[in-house]
Amino acid sequence: MLTASAAPMPIPGHIDPVPVPRASAPREDGRVDLVGLSRDEVREALAAAGLEPKQAKLRAKQIFHWIYNRGATDFAQMTDIAKVQHPWLAERFAVGRPGVVEAQVSTDGTRKWLLRSGDGHDYEMVFIPDADRGTLCVSSQVGCTLNCRFCHTGTMRLVRNLTAGEIVGQVMLARDALGEWPSQPEGRMLTNIVMMGMGEPLYNFDAVRDALKVVMDGDGLALSKRRITLSTSGVVPMMARAGAEIGVNLAVSLHAVTKEVRDEIVPINRKYGIEELLQACADYPGANNARRITFEYVMLKDKNDSDADAHELVRLLKHYRLPAKVNLIPFNPWPGAPYECSTPERVRRFSDIVFEAGISAPVRTPRGRDIDAACGQLKTASERKSRAELDRQAEEKLAALG
């Protein structure tokens, strides 16, 4: 039930029938957490706490460096700030990290963390190491407002948006775990970020934008926008704004090439259809052959994996003249899933058709399946429901889409 402090969150297009609080609860100790704040926001927070403007500007520069470049979690570590000021800062401010409920490591080296917010909500992040890169899969929401039928996260109710601090905090925690402080451009294990964890990033646009700007700041975490990918299921009205205000790489959860099938497995298609979505991709700022748009395509047996589907995918991408790469994703099973994975032979055939048309279509190697860390498997243990309850909830979301 909504309270006075939990008004419905305005979002473009479909609004999930589950009430969504706009903001997280403040810290119980009343302190302001500086993680997630830009340099200017740190300065403003210091000034609001009583520092005179010139000193607030200097201290903000120092604190920003210590938090995002050095990974400091205690003001006592900030050696270029006078010791007498440390207690004053510690009384008013915090440099937090998400709470870790559980950390798991897959047999293939993939790591998954179950995290808990200060107000008691759980969400997940995943780190995937490869020979030439290390990719952190970051969540933007607790749960998800969409109901993609192949996705375990989509069976969860949307609890709330994560704050910019909670999004940046995932990157900070991963850096802690990997021992990657101070921040430096060379020799990192964590080289890439994908906004592909729990939630739809474009339904939490402001927090995602603000968090990624902090991550990309050259004086802090300093990850290039070319190393960051934002994935959307197709929130068309927000895509141009994402390109203009964030400017990172774009990935689109396409997963089907006909209205009938995409309406079923990615229900936001009923609001923003395939043609509208692909035109938004064609208009995405900065997309070119050097920065191709990635189309995610989960392979579902006898649902979207035919030769005809592959040929139609090629036709659509060529019709809209899209600089495209297609990631073919073998379906990752989860308890109660209504689909099966396409056979390896079918996946290879689909890939060959797309490749022969001159479009890259690699098959993604499933990672972290043994710890439910693979694509589409993220779902906190606190959200276990019966199959009947999942089906009922899915129908609620579908009905809300009209």
Q: Could you tell me the two tokens for 251? A: 């990935």
- What is the residue-wise DSSP string for 101-121? EEEEE-TTS-EEEEEE-TTS-
Supply the Cα-derived Rg of the chain in whole angstroms.
22
Q: How many CA atoms lie within 13 A of 14 on its CB side?
A: 27
Out of 124, 200, 264, 296, which one is annotated catalytic?
124
- Provide CB contacts within 8 A for 288, sequence distance 6+: 323
Out of 200, 375, 389, 396, which one is annotated catalytic?
375
Question: What backbone torsions phi and psi does residue 163 show, to the nearest 5 degrees?
Answer: -80, 165
In degrees, rounded to 5, the angle at the alpha carbon of residue 66 between the alpha carbons of residues 63 and 70 is: 170
Cβ neighbours of 153 (radius 10 Å): 25
Say how far apart CA 34 and CA 48 lie, in whole Å.
Answer: 13
375 is catalytic: yes
Helices (H) and strands (E) in the chain, counts: 11, 13
- What is the residue-wise DSSP string for 336-397? T-S--BPPHHHHHHHHHHHHHTT-B-PBPPP-SGGGT-STT----GGG---HHHHHHHHHHH
Q: Could you tell me the two tokens for 75? A: 């003001």
Say how far apart CA 32 and CA 163 lie, in whole Å.
Answer: 13
Say how far apart CA 106 and CA 373 lie, in whole Å.
Answer: 8
Q: How many CA atoms lie within 13 A of 273 on its CB side?
A: 5
User: Collapsing DSSP states into helix, strand and coil, what is residue 55?
Assistant: helix
Active site residues per annotation: 124, 375
